[in-house]
């Protein structure tokens, strides 16, 4: 356990640095409260995500009000969804507008992941690549995260959506063509993958989500502190190698060039594997374009510009990110 102590070197009277010392368990509780959890709510359109999110928010607020620990009582809960971001459901009709909507949610989550705030991201979150991005963002700041899957059957979702569309006083459902398209494209969370775990599934017939279990998994029970082990891909190194950004740019570009070159040599083939030593890029059935690969590459570089990776890990880390984004 650590605490922070400021000291001033004689040679630079206006420069402050940080040193680390051992502390008591009570001090560790205060440090633990610096970064708070991310809860991703995922489910079919009109599956009741907002209703379940409200239940979670009410439970967390009650838990905070009744807490005796000072570092718990100072917490707050923030919910992020299409309504809080001012997004209309028509944004899911076009690829570009939907991409902008995901970017707005991503920015809002990143902005609120910080001191004393529990973030409940109540959006569709139906693309596993997007959930992976948010998972990496949480890991980058050493905060726990989980996925809450709203397990409402498709037929029930259709019934609820029809009721919402027919009632002008309601918030409104999804237009039928958008609803069917989102159902078709939905990628259900899988608790076996690290970015979807821990996974809590809420069946339609359950009165409430497993709120206490979610609280214990993310905040910790009384006397037991939640420890967060950062991913190797998001660990901040104490000092960067001088040519790190050059290597990051060069290595990722080499992989992109190799994928494009492989596709040119295998025109007409559906899918395929591009082998890099013991790592493999799994290509989808439809051809991957250069702009698509460059967009993924820019996202990866942006995520890892400050989170220094050892040079040998750049290859494997980018290939893993590429596979997740293309899947």
Residue 21: the pLDDT is: 34
Residue 238: the pLDDT is: 43
N residues, the chain = 327
Q: Report the number of secondary-structure helices (H) and strands (E) in the chain.
A: 11, 9
Name the token pair of 235: 């660990």
Residue 45: the pLDDT is: 94
Residue 227: the pLDDT is: 55
The answer to whether the predicted template modeling score (pTM) of the entire model surpasses 0.85 is no
Residue 36: the pLDDT is: 72
DSSP letter at 228?
-
Q: Hey, is 43 helix, strand or coil? A: strand
* Backbone angles phi and psi of 150, in degrees to 5: -85, 105
Distance CA 131, CA 258 (A): 27
Whether 77 contacts 61, CB under 8 Å:
yes
Q: Cβ atoms within 10 A of the Cβ of 224, count?
A: 9
Task: Describe the strand order of the beta sheet including 38-43 as a list of residue ranges.
Answer: 76-80, 117-122, 38-43, 145-151, 199-203
DSSP letter at 68?
-
Pairing assessment for the beta strands 145-151 and 38-43 based on DSSP bridges: parallel
User: Sign of dihedral through CA atoms 161, 165, 166, 167?
Assistant: positive
Q: Where are the alpha helices (DSSP H) in the chain?
A: 25-32, 49-65, 70-73, 95-112, 128-140, 154-166, 176-185, 211-218, 244-265, 290-304, 311-326
Residue 288: the pLDDT is: 87
Residue 14: the pLDDT is: 35
Measured in whole angstroms, the distance separating CA 223 from the mean position of its chain's CA atoms is 28
Distance CA 137, CA 114 (A): 11
Residue 229: the pLDDT is: 58
List the chain residues with pLDDT less than 50: 1-34, 223-225, 233-234, 236-239
């Amino acid at each position: 356990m650590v605490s922070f102590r400021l000291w001033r070197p004689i040679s630079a009277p206006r420069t402050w640095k940080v040193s680390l010392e051992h502390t008591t368990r009570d001090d560790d509780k205060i440090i633990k409260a610096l970064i708070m959890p991310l809860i991703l709510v995922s489910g079919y359109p009109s599956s009741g995500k907002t209703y379940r999110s409200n239940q979670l928010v009410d439970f967390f607020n009650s838990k905070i009000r009744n807490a005796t620990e000072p570092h718990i009582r100072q917490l707050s809960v923030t919910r992020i969804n299409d309504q809080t971001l001012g997004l209309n459901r028509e944004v899911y009709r076009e690829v570009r507008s939907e991409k902008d909507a995901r970017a707005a949610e991503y920015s809002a989550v990143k902005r609120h992941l910080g001191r004393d705030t529990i973030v409940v991201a109540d959006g569709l979150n139906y693309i596993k690549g997007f959930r992976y991005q948010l998972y990496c963002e949480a890991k980058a700041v050493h905060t726990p995260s989980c996925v809450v899957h709203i397990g409402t059957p498709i037929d029930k979702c259709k019934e609820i959506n029809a009721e919402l569309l027919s009632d002008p006083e309601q918030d409104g459902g999804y237009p039928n063509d958008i609803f069917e398209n989102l159902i078709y494209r939905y990628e259900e969370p899988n608790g076996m993958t690290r970015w979807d775990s821990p996974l809590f599934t809420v069946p339609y017939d359950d009165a409430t989500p497993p709120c206490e279990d979610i609280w214990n998994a993310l905040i910790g029970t009384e006397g037991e502190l939640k420890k967060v082990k950062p991913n190797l891909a998001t660990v901040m190194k104490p000092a960067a190698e001088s040519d790190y950004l050059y290597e990051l740019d060069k290595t990722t570009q080499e992989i992109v060039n190799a994928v494009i070159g492989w596709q040119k040599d295998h025109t007409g083939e559906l899918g395929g594997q591009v082998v890099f030593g013991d790592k493999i890029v799994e290509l989808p059935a439809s051809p991957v374009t250069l702009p698509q690969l460059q967009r993924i590459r820019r996202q990866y570089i942006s995520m890892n510009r400050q989170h220094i990776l050892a040079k040998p890990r750049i290859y494997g880390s980018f290939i893993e990110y590429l596979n997740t984004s293309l899947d």
